[in-house]
Amino acid sequence: MTAPLSHARSDPAGYPVVRLRPKANARAVRHGFPWVYANELVTDRRTKAIAPGAVAVLEDDARRPMGLVAVNNGSKIICRMLDTDPGAVIDAAWFAGRLHKALALRKRLYPDPYYRLVHAEADGLPGIVIDRFGDTCVVQPNAAWAEAHIDALVEALTEITGCTCVIKNAAGRTRSLEGLDDITAVLRGAAPDGPVPVPMNGATYMADLTGGQKTGLYYDQRPNHAFAAGLAKGARVLDVFSHVGGFSLSALAAGAVSALAVDGAAPALDLALAGAEATGVADRFATRQGDAFDVLAALGEEGAQFDLVICDPPAFAPARPALEAGLRAYERIARLAAPLVAENGILGLCSCSHAADLQAFRAASARGIGRAGRRGSLIYTGFAGPDHPQLPQLAESGYLKSVFFAL
């Protein structure tokens, strides 16, 4: 389903035309920056008439074509660059070309079909996230143009991957910013009957593709799970904000003597326990439901000690206005977690906040460790896995940070 075009001035191919303001940074766009903000575009009556999600030709202030963009007048990101060829046609064949490249990369990276297949702008599909779980793909169309072209996307996706089921996950803050609904639906085939087992780092994770968080599993932490697992043999492990057992299950598979998973969501812990059973480590695995800050404080009062502690909270600073409060929350996590680490143990701290860069997050973590009366040496800095490629021109694509300290 393609969004209707407006009555704005059109180029020969039939697309409406939008134009940058004279003071907009056209050079950044030409050099790969994928967004145009609302204050950078001429928003006259004709531009405002363009339907959300429609495709248009972007021109610089000298009326030279720069490529095809998706337009959404209701978003601060008013244009997203789709193709530098202004004559391109955005149809199923176009999607197939982008998906073919994305799939070829993932096949080189992973032997099994469990990965992030499309990571939005970095894979040339702005605002679109696709996670693959064997024969099922979960799509997050987080931009209006993706929603408008969902039929063509699904057609290409099933053709290129051979997947028999496609699920649209409509949860999340980003869709609301684009004026989109939050209705999740099965777009092709039948949804899996129950959680899907996902092999990763020697463990088996159980992903709820229709009712779980995000797309059902966080693939981005895979290399950081592997690093922590390399430290886990013979260790007592504490996995805070564990979701479905992210760090704890891989640590147990690598030989940890015990692991305690802490999360506020009972369904996530149930899936973690099912994963422990599927991995064959349930006898060394325990869960504790509750607010992470409260559980960390309670464990401190109990005098609990662990050789490896990892805290992987949700985004405390998802946007710039929340940055200061978010950094205080990261500092507090470190302060509460550090006393639980045994002498010469390891503390791993993670952030998926777009607004908190690595330097700010690392400094907040170090302050928290210091406030707990501990000294820490930074031994590892990790990021999202290669199935979450970063677009160098877009800092937001490198959102995940993991820092591990020897205390």
Is residue 323 in some structural domain? yes
Alpha-carbon separation of residue 236 from 172, 256, 270, 275, 384 (angstroms): 34, 6, 21, 19, 25
User: Which helix H or strand E contains 298, and what residues bound it?
Assistant: helix 292-301
Is residue 64 in some structural domain? yes
Q: Output the domain CATH number for residue 41.
A: 2.30.130.10
| 140 and 267 part of one domain | no
| 209 and 244 part of one domain | yes
Residue 212 has pLDDT above 90, yes or no: no
Flag the least confident range among 86-90, 109-113, 178-182, 198-202. Answer: 178-182
User: Which helix H or strand E contains 147, and what residues bound it?
Assistant: helix 144-148
Tokens of 175: 């869709």
pLDDT of residue 11: 53
CA angle 197, 125, 225 (to 5 degrees): 35
Contacts of 277 (CB under 8 A, 6+ apart): none
Is residue 296 in some structural domain? yes
Structure confidence at residue 14 as a pLDDT band (50, 70, 90): confident
Q: Which is higher by pLDDT, 298 or 11?
A: 298
Which of 62, 83, 104 corresponds to the end of one domain? 83
Backbone angles phi, psi at 175, to 5 degrees: -65, -35
Mean pLDDT, to the nearest integer, of 362-372? 98
pLDDT of residue 2: 40
Q: How many helices (H) does the chain have, and how many strands (E)?
A: 12, 19
Taking alpha carbons only, the member of 119, 114, 208 closest to residue 161 is 114
| 238 and 326 part of one domain | yes
Is residue 25 in some structural domain? yes
pLDDT of residue 1: 40
Q: Output the domain CATH number for residue 167.
A: 3.30.750.80
pLDDT of residue 216: 87
Structure confidence at residue 3 as a pLDDT band (50, 70, 90): very low
Percent of the chain topping pLDDT 90: 90
Is residue 7 in some structural domain? no
| 184 and 270 part of one domain | no
317: left (phi over 0), alpha (psi -120 to 50) or beta: beta
pLDDT tens readout for residues 50-87? 999 999 999 999 999 999 999 999 999 999 999 999 99
CA angle 240, 243, 248 (to 5 degrees): 60
Structure confidence at residue 396 as a pLDDT band (50, 70, 90): confident
Is residue 315 in some structural domain? yes
Question: Average per-residue pLDDT in the chain?
Answer: 94
The answer to whether residue 311 is catalytic is no
Is residue 47 in some structural domain? yes
| 136 and 203 part of one domain | no
| 39 and 139 part of one domain | no
Flag the least confident range among 1-15, 33-47, 216-230, 322-336. Answer: 1-15
| 116 and 62 part of one domain | no
Q: How far apart are the first and last CA of the chain?
A: 56
Backbone angles phi, psi at 59, to 5 degrees: -115, 155
Alpha-carbon separation of residue 217 from 14, 43, 161, 205, 243 (angstroms): 41, 40, 19, 8, 8
Strands 54-59 and 17-19: parallel
Residue 8 has pLDDT above 60, yes or no: no
| 315 and 203 part of one domain | yes
| 218 and 309 part of one domain | yes
Mean pLDDT, to the nearest integer, of 187-211? 96
Q: Give the burial class of 39: count Cβ atoms within 10 A of its Cβ; 0-12 exposed, 13-18 middle, 19 or more buried.
A: exposed
Question: Structural domain tally of the chain?
Answer: 3
Is residue 256 in some structural domain? yes
| 363 and 216 part of one domain | yes
d(CA 388, CA 379): 23
Flag the least confident range among 56-65, 167-176, 386-395. Answer: 167-176
- Domain hosting 264: range is 198-406
Structure confidence at residue 176 as a pLDDT band (50, 70, 90): confident
